[in-house]
């Protein structure tokens, strides 16, 4: 296992010299991965293009965005899907939600395990009259629980494919999609923690009529500002929260007081002017991933081996479960790209690990170790050794 991890990690690490991944224990890969050195070339290119082209920079900027869309279409086996760009998934989520008649159909079905961008917004809207129903995201009976909640007041189902706290992969996405389809209810999947780490064929999983939120900050190594809403090619939703980028074709038409129009294609949920530098950066990363042959299969195998080694070394320590234990005992194949540990001292442990130069993060009582393809087995061993020292000093 260790040799297989290191073959890829040692090949990749020299390409991340600016982030110095060889000499740092960076285990927040599920939150923010290092950027390869070529990303800097992309940022320089964005400045050069802006300086030379001025307002005409948007055409090359849109070309960079199309490179990102094509990468996602290839990852998801989704040649016909449309992908709308925004600076973050929250903008896209709000635009999508604004498409529905929430006054007459105010019910949203979600889970109790969603990331803050969705969870916070839904519950704030609940204070304004939205009806939010949260089922147990980790339940084996999640499909039945959602089925029991669907009624004539339901506008949408919204939940994750990989849960941000536990790392567990939702095994019932296709079943939930079928249930939503049967009831003519749109289904939005937050895939921020699934993209580029847990392969998914939208066609094979029968999700072509579904919506996906995708973000570039984590496993894609695209950095900030590269988020997408994937939607079906026949989508005719009319978001109430809409920016002028959603209808370039109508900009020169007279304002006649008629209904607001939307362009066909990838801009339906778009906002307004944004900084395109991040797309230049991300396009260079896409090129790097392709040059390094980092296919979905290669990436998945690397993450499974790394998380598997983390789990093995953790269990070998035989820690007092009152101090720290695994967040779940599901098979490794049902895990995403990080190891989740539960401890009442999670934030204390994280802070002490940081003092030792080990980057992790904590959410409530969950401590998360997230590797990246450039992390070696030796670095995993060092991180676990530091964890053992800290845990040994704690009392239940």
- Among 219, 214, 218, 223, residue whose Cα is nearest residue 269: 214
pLDDT tens across 248-289, in order?
777 767 777 788 999 889 999 999 999 999 999 999 999 999
pLDDT per position as a tens digit, 287-300: 999 999 999 999 99
Nearest CA to 373 among 170, 196, 164, 223? Answer: 196
Write out pLDDT tens, residues 354-386.
999 999 999 899 999 999 999 999 999 999 999
Residues 6+ apart with CB under 8 A from 209: 177, 181, 187, 232
- pLDDT value of residue 64: 98
> Please, which pLDDT band fits residue 3 given cuts at 50, 70 and 90?
low
Q: Could you tell me which residue, 195 or 1, shows the higher pLDDT? A: 195
Separation CA 379–CA 267 (nearest Å):
43
pLDDT at 80 over 90: yes
Digit-coded pLDDT (tens) for 53-74:
999 999 999 999 999 999 999 9
pLDDT of amino acid 396: 65
Other C-beta atoms closer than 10 Å to the C-beta of 141 total 12
Provide the pLDDT confidence category of residue 2 given band limits of 50, 70 and 90: low
Q: Residue 47 has what pLDDT?
A: 97
Q: How crowded is residue 116: how many other Cβ atoms within 10 Å of its Cβ? A: 10
Position 256 scores a pLDDT of: 78
Spatial distance between the Cα atoms of 213 and 137, rounded to a whole number of angstroms: 17
Give start and end residues of each alpha helix (H) in 150-295.
173-182, 277-291
pLDDT of residue 254: 77
Question: Hey, which residues does 83 pair with through a beta bridge?
Answer: 230
Q: Which domains does the chain have, with CATH numbers?
A: 2-34+295-392 (3.90.1150.10), 40-252+261-288 (3.40.640.10)
| Mean pLDDT rounded to a whole number for the chain | 96
């Amino acid at each position: 296992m260790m040799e297989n991890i290191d073959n890829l990690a040692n090949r990749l690490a020299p390409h991340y010299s600016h982030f110095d991944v060889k000499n740092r224990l960076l285990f927040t890969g599920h939150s923010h991965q290092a950027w390869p050195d070529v990303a800097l070339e992309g940022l320089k290119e964005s400045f050069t293009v802006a300086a030379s082209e001025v307002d005409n920079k948007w055409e090359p900027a849109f070309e960079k965005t199309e490179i990102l869309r094509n990468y996602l279409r290839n990852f998801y086996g989704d040649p016909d899907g449309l992908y709308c760009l925004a600076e973050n998934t929250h903008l896209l989520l709000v635009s999508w939600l604004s498409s529905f008649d929430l006054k007459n159909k105010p019910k949203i079905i979600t889970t109790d395990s969603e990331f803050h961008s969705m969870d916070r917004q839904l519950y704030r809207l609940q204070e304004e009259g939205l009806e939010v129903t949260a089922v147990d995201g980790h339940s084996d009976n999640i499909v039945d629980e959602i089925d029991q909640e669907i009624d004539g007041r339901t506008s949408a189902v919204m939940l994750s494919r990989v849960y941000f706290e536990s790392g567990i992969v939702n095994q019932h996405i296709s079943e939930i999609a079928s249930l939503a389809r049967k009831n003519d209810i749109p289904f939005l999947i937050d895939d921020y923690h699934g993209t580029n780490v847990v392969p998914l064929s939208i066609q094979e999983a029968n999700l072509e009529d579904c919506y996906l939120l995708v973000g570039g900050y984590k496993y894609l190594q695209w950095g900030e500002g590269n988020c997408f809403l994937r939607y079906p090619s026949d989508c005719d939703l009319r978001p109430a929260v809409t920016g002028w980028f959603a209808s370039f074709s109508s900009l020169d038409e007279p304002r006649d007081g008629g209904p607001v129009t939307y362009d066909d294609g990838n801009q339906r949920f778009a906002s307004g002017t944004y900084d395109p530098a991040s797309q230049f950066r991300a396009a260079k990363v896409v090129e790097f991933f392709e040059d390094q042959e980092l296919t979905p299969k290669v990436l998945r195998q690397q993450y499974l081996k790394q998380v598997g080694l983390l789990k093995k070394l953790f269990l070998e320590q035989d820690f007092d479960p009152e101090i720290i234990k695994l967040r779940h005992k599901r098979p490794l194949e049902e895990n995403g790209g990080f190891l989740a540990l539960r401890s009442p001292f999670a934030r204390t442990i994280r802070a002490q690990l940081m003092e030792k130069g080990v980057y992790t993060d904590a959410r409530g009582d969950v401590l998360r170790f997230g590797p990246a393809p450039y992390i070696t087995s030796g670095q995993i061993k060092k991180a676990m050794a530091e964890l053992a020292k800290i845990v040994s000093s704690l009392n239940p």
